[in-house]
């Protein structure tokens, strides 16, 4: 039986790719760079992803990721940014202001309210995540919001989940399902925490890692079918 679901935010409940593209375009325009291409945005996304993966492996701190990704991006693209830290600050504000729901995420979590406990588990920054969850309405259906900056440990570290388990006291680990799009953060984090892992994999990528995946879904609403089977 599953009695609690831990939801990742970026790339799972919300379409991070759209927010990322909007934020980068807007911030570049603020410093006078209005000529950009989809290829440039994709190159930034690759740099960003590599920095976050380094964080998950414990090779970088959060601040090194947030500023370092833009330092690398501007250097590789030969672009001038007068204040990279200010650029990142502006980007974080925009991520919190402009968000895009993934599929019917809000309706889904609303429909599950009362059936299971629901929590958010995210490595995103406090400012961006708190704003997105409040403005999207997703936060209204959560029994807990857990952000790595506030906990002091990043997913996939097992320590990230300690306060989650405190909030869900009385619910066994095998009754907790984590749903996320990242093998290296969400699924490995679920492995490390000893909970049930559901990989949200809309593009049908292959798992070439040693990470255990108990369930794999293409659409978020497939979670309902998993609950129906395990709660029968």
Mind telling me the catalytic residues?
8, 10
Element (H, E) at 178: strand 176-180
Please give the helix or strand (H or E) that residue 197 lies within, else none.
strand 196-200
Q: Which element (helix H / strand E) includes 217? A: strand 215-217
Q: Which residues contact 229 (CB under 8 A, 6 or more apart)?
A: none
What tokens were used for 36?
Answer: 């950009």
Q: Which two tokens stand for residue 152?
A: 């002091």
Cα angle for residues 156, 44, 41 (degrees, 5° grid): 125
According to DSSP, the β-strands at 196-200 and 176-180 are parallel
Outline where 38-177 has alpha helix (H): 38-56, 62-77, 84-97, 105-112, 126-136, 148-151, 162-167
DSSP 31: T
């Amino acid at each position: 039986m599953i009695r609690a679901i831990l939801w990742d935010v970026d790339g799972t409940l919300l379409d991070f790719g759209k927010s990322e593209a909007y934020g980068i375009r807007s911030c570049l325009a603020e410093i006078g760079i209005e000529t950009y291409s989809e290829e440039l945005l994709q190159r930034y996304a690759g740099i960003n992803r590599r920095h976050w993966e380094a964080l998950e492996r414990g090779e970088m701190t959060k601040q090194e990721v947030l500023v370092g990704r833009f330092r690398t991006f501007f250097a590789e693209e030969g672009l001038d940014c007068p204040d990279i830290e200010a650029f990142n600050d502006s980007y974080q504000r925009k991520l919190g202001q402009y968000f895009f729901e993934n599929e019917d995420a809000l309706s889904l979590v609303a429909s599950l309210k009362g059936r299971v406990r629901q929590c958010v588990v995210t490595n995103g920054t406090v400012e961006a995540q708190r704003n997105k969850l409040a403005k999207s309405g997703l936060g209204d259906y959560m029994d807990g919001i857990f952000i790595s900056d506030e906990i002091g440990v990043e997913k996939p570290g097992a320590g990230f989940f300690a306060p989650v388990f405190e909030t869900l006291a009385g619910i066994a680990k095998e009754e907790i399902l984590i749903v996320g799009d990242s093998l290296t953060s969400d699924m490995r984090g679920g492995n490390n925490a000893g909970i049930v892992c559901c990989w949200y994999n809309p593009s049908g990528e292959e798992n070439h890692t040693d990470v255990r995946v108990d369930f794999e879904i293409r659409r978020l609403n497939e979670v309902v079918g998993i609950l129906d089977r395990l709660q029968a």
